[in-house]
Chain A
Amino acid sequence: MSCKSCDCNQPAQPERRSFLGGSVSVIASMTILPGLVLHEVKAKPDDQRISDKNRWGILIDTRKCTTECDACVTACHNKHGIETHGRPDKDPQWIRKLKVEDPLTRKVSSFPIMCQHCEHPPCADVCPTGASFRREDGIVLVDRHLCIGCRYCMMACPYKARSFLHEETENPLPHTPRGKGTVESCNMCVYTVDKGGIPACVEACKLEGHQAMIFGDLNDPESEISQALLREGGQQIREDLGLNTGVRYQGIN
């Protein structure tokens, strides 16, 4: 079956099943300190498409997260070239640190909040052009080619995770295209994840020594994140909305 939309003669759907069965998976791992393996995820071959076999998620242990540290925010904004224009209320914000206090017990928790990568994303529900969508592997993205900048998704998101880009990007980075007049949010470092890496925030948290964030495949019962959830449990923020988020928290009750 060849592609009908243009004359490039590419197969529209390669034999995915036979490819999946026959491919030899590569284990990508990086060791930063002796005994500390930063990452161990099977890298996807470049010409393979994503599938719902994976569901990427992040588990944040708020008991290990400290109020002073914002390494995850800095790493994210550096990686994606997000900069301030001196107007904090309008600056894009892909990830932010929150400090919450229980009014009864006075217990203070600190944690980062970003796009929660819902299974049923309200942003995608309200998007009039189909620009907001959820990839098969659970990552929620904005297709900026389709976004018209109406900002419905920003209003629909219960986590205030999305930002509108008011300014022209003078020097966008090769793997984070960003443009004026479109909405953007955490993309779970989708390019890096497709290449077998981990998101910048999780990497920064590990490098800082807090180890408060775990990235992994929620569909794989053997993965570190699934094991941690099985062992200690985890919560969704606004679980009552039934969105089944990909980002989970521990210790915020």
Chain B
Amino acid sequence: MRQGLIALLIGLLLPLAAWSGVLPQIPEARKGESCVRPTDEMRKNHMKYILHQRDETVHEGYRNPQFSLVECINCHATKDEKGEWVSVKTEKHFCNSCHTYAAVKIDCFQCHADKPEEAYEQARHPVMLRQGLSEDTIRNTLMEARQ
């Protein structure tokens, strides 16, 4: 009887355990207590908000940070164990973690930055970065250029 119960429990729990491995591992946002809208609403409608503001921003110069993609990334982009910003090409990235699970391919990041503004503050000059210069060198070069 007891063995039967244990077997039944294992039988019930195993699919659950397997299921939890399938569910997306969504990284926590780095900043703030809550999103610009409740989480369940954002899950359902974030694309509409971004799309709506996209056209207003490009054509009418409406720069409200509320539904700006840059602001999404500023809060939701995370660093990996090595302290590097996570690329949207990996499933560890906030956007991609869920989009891989939902099998919805997005092309936002073919043009848009997948890292927050702060990632570019010190090294705003990818041309110099590409040339293998250190961030210190770039900062000094910029300082010299400004003097």
Q: CB within 8 Å of B: which residues of A?
A: 3, 5-8, 10, 44, 46-50, 77-79, 81-83, 133, 135-137, 141, 143-145, 168-169, 171-175, 177-180, 182, 190-191, 194-195, 207
Contacts and interface: CB of A to CB of B under 8 A. Distances in A.
B20 interface: no
A133 B61 CA distance: 13
What 8 A-B pairs have minimum CB-CB distances, sorted nearest first? A179-B111, A50-B61, A177-B111, A6-B48, A49-B60, A46-B63, A174-B113, A179-B110
16 contacts: A7-B45, A46-B62, A46-B65, A77-B127, A79-B124, A81-B126, A83-B126, A135-B61, A137-B61, A145-B54, A172-B112, A172-B113, A173-B120, A177-B112, A179-B110, A190-B61
| Interface-centre pick from B52, B111, B128 (highest chain A CB count, 10 A) | B111
Contacts of A173: 113, 120, 124, 126
A10 B52 contact: yes
Contacts of B52: 3, 5-6, 8, 10
B17 interface: no
A202 to B, nearest CB: 15
A44 B61 contact: yes
B147 to A, nearest CB: 9
A136 B60 CA distance: 8
A47 B70 contact: no
A195 B126 contact: no
B111 A172 contact: yes
B37 to A, nearest CB: 9
Q: Is the interface of B mostly helix, strand, loop or mixed?
A: helix
B122 to A, nearest CB: 13
B63 to A, nearest CB: 4
Given A6-B51, A173-B113, A179-B111, A78 B61 contact: no
A218 to B, nearest CB: 17
A135 B59 CA distance: 6
A174 B120 contact: yes
A79 B125 CA distance: 7
Q: Is the interface of A mostly helix, strand, loop or mixed?
A: loop
A78 B64 contact: no
B117 interface: yes
Given A78-B125, A171-B126, A46 B64 contact: yes
Interface string B105-147: 0000011110111001000111110100000000000000110
B73 interface: yes
B49 interface: yes
B126 A144 contact: no
A196 B126 CA distance: 25
A195 B63 contact: yes
Given A6-B48, A6-B51, A81-B126, A169 B59 contact: no
A194 B59 contact: no
Contacts of A77: 127
A5 B54 CA distance: 13
Nearest to B130: A83
A143 B70 contact: no
Contacts of A178: 111
Given A3-B52, A83-B126, A50 B60 contact: yes
Given A137-B61, A143-B59, 7 more contacts: A6-B51, A7-B45, A49-B56, A78-B128, A81-B126, A135-B60, A171-B113
Nearest to B48: A6
Nearest to A49: B60
